[in-house]
Amino acid sequence: MLSKYVLPGEKVEMQAVERAILGKSVNESIHISKVYDVLSDERIEICMPMEQTKLILLPVGGEYEVCFYTKTGIYQSFARVIDRYKTNGVFILLFELTTNLRKHQRREYYRFNCILNMQSRELSEEEKISCEEQKDIVLEHSLPLRQSIIVDISGGGIRFVSNYQYEKDTIIFLTYTLIYQGKEKNYELTGKILSSKELENRKGQYEHRVQYVNINTSQREEIIRFIFEEERKSRHKLQG
């Protein structure tokens, strides 16, 4: 797949995973270079980036979000530096892709297709006031929750399907469980309904897009690291 879309000479942007997964886009942290050669669908040679006249020695073992600017669009993958060397007078970084190549979603966090159980409800009036005032919300755990299924997840929000509908701009409480660092971890978050529509081929089923509200940095980082690990596992299964 890599050799189908990416060609030698095309522009490349590289950003350390630690910054990329948090959605940070500080220009100084993005290294710009070009593709030297595509060796296989998993391995690619990239010219070592330079700052003025100085080579930037990205570390072997370092993990990066790599964006390829091609004739058919921008493609994205996570990749690891596995070697550095010089060939034909050019300093090279050898990258191995650790996730599948996909169309780059520059406007939002990296999204992951999944099937996850979720429960949710609309916030009570008191909870809404706390949320609007950016205060820590004291949740009313006795209120009933409704079941739904998350179909994609990112550090910025989720998309879920249910047999009930929320109105646009509704603030909801939502809870789901992820496997983080080998253990189950429950997340209790609030989110804003960005859109809600009935599925064309499934009458009575509704798709909702949700943006997190008042999520803290550590929760966001854990969620996106979960996504990164699941993408890596999926790629290894396909290769195995």
Q: Specify the pLDDT at position 134.
A: 60
Going along the chain from its start, the domains and CATH numbers come out as 2-103 (2.30.110.10), 112-239 (2.40.10.220)
Q: Classify residue 169 as exposed, middle or buried by CB count within 10 Å of its CB (0-12, 13-18, 19+).
A: exposed
Q: Give kind and range of the element (H or E) at residue 162.
A: strand 157-162
| Confidence at residue 10, expressed as pLDDT on a 0 to 100 scale | 94
Kindly state the DSSP code that residue 101 receives in the 8-state scheme.
-
Q: Which two tokens mark 18? A: 């630690």
Rg over CA atoms, the chain? 21
The Cα–Cα gap between 66 and 2 comes to: 12
Taking residues 39-61, report their average pLDDT.
91
Summarised one tens digit per residue, pLDDT across range 199-209 is: 988 889 999 99
pTM of the model: 0.63
Residue 101: its pLDDT value, please? 86
Pairing of strands 54-55, 63-70: unpaired
Q: For residue 95, name the pLDDT band (cuts at 50, 70, 90).
A: very high
Is it the case that residue 123 has pLDDT exceeding 60? yes
Q: CA-CA distance, 199 to 117, in Å (whole number)?
A: 19
> How many Cβ atoms sit within 10 Å of the Cβ of residue 232?
17
**Neighbour-count burial of 67, counting CB atoms closer than 10 A to its CB (0-12 exposed, 13-18 middle, 19+ buried):** buried
The answer to whether 211 touches 137, Cβ cutoff 8 Å, is no
User: Stretch 220-233: mean pLDDT, rounded?
Assistant: 83
Q: Is the pLDDT of residue 25 over 70?
A: no
